[in-house]
Amino acid sequence: MNLINMNAILNSYKKGILKDEIVHQEVEKIINKSSSIKNKEVLKTCFKSLDLTSLNLKDNETTIKEFIEKVNKLGTLYNEIGNIAAICVYPSFVKLAYNTLNKNGIKIATVAAGFPHSQTMIEIKLAESMLCIHDGANEIDIVLSIGKFLNGKYDEVAEEISEIKASIKEKKLKVILETGALETAENIYNASTLAMEAGADFIKTSTGKINVSASPFSAYVMCNSIKEFYKKNKRKVGIKVAGGITSTEDVINYYTIIKEILGEEWLNNDYFRIGASRVANSLLSDFYNKDIKYF
């Protein structure tokens, strides 16, 4: 993909929602609606959009295998709520995941290309991404080069994303914006648009590895950028919220934001993902009306 003058491309997008104070006001209005839409169908949709994740310092072959075996039993034990969208593990465990997971439609995702800070050479990013696909990954989550982006090197950032997408071909590429580091609505909007123009299949809020993770503020801006991108390009891009999501109420807030801005057609796991393992127990408990601590 030949990306020429990304700054000009970004300037071609409508940016009427980029004042931070207006975004906060609009988010509050939407979230006020969220308590009225909590029902079993919504809980089921959210559960089926989960990317159950294990990205811990102490991960090892034993803990990952135990994690996946629980996922394998999930559909049998709690079949009424459906099954999750994907599991996400570090690159070194992708082959183990591929050999252990009873797929049943569940995707294998991994974090690659210098996760979590994206501070390595493009050759390494490409090699790691391709090796993960070779080992069985269906989806690659990478981090946008935040330092370069904040330094205004938009063409370099876009070209990097484009090269990685080309290297993994038809497999899904999720680009993590690390919105807590971008801080402003304008930065989040521009990073979202840049990632999509460069070929991202999903844009994702956060790594969960810095103090400020996902927020309704960032999700609102990202959804608006997806909406505008779709109007211009007729290509649907998904959104993944991740980092700091701990309760059913958190999930319903994000569900409501996506419903209000993008509509029902985005509310399936082809275009909506939640990267939050801790919230799985909460969704199960609320769906079955009893305390469940499966994970």
pLDDT value, residue 17: 64
* Stated length of the chain: 295
* Residue 169 pLDDT greater than 80, yes or no: yes
Is the pLDDT at 24 greater than 90? The verdict is: yes
CA 179 to chain centre: 12
Cα(18)–Cα(134) distance, rounded to whole angstroms?
Answer: 40
Q: Which of 76, 78, 102 is nearest to 87 (CA)?
A: 102
**Residue of 107, 125, 204, 259 with catalytic role:** 204
Tell me which of 104-108, 136-140, 209-213, 285-289 is least confident.
Answer: 209-213
Omega before residue 116 within 30° of 0, cis:
yes
User: Which secondary-structure segment (H or E) carries 273?
Assistant: strand 272-275
pLDDT in tens, 261-279: 999 999 999 999 999 888 9
Q: What is the rounded average pLDDT of the residues 38-45?
A: 94
**Domain 16-288 coded CATH 3.40.50.150:** no
Q: Give the mean pLDDT of 106-111.
A: 97
Q: Does the pLDDT value for residue 3 go beyond 60?
A: no
The phi, psi pair for 124, rounded to 5°, reads: -70, -40
The predicted pLDDT at position 1 comes to: 47
Average pLDDT, whole number, for the chain? 94
Average pLDDT over residues 27-35: 88
Determine which one of 51, 135, 141, 250 is catalytic. 141
Choose, from 48, 171, 174, 240, the residue flagged as catalytic. 240
Give the C-alpha separation, 29 to 37, whole Å: 14
User: Annotated catalytic, 141?
Assistant: yes
Q: What is the mean pLDDT of residues 102-131?
A: 95
For the stretch 264-289, what's the b/e string if a residue is b when 16 or more beta carbons lie within 10 angstroms of its beta carbon? eebbebebbbbbbbebbebbbbbbee
Handedness of CA 201, 207, 208, 211 (dihedral sign): negative
Compute the distance between CA of residue 18 and CA of residue 224 in angstroms, rounded to an integer. 10
Q: What is the mean pLDDT of residues 69-88?
A: 94
Q: What pLDDT does residue 167 have?
A: 97
Query: Does 291 qualify as catalytic in the annotation?
Result: no
Percent of the chain having pLDDT more than 70?
98
Q: How high is the pLDDT of residue 206?
A: 94
Mark whether 240 is an active-site residue: yes
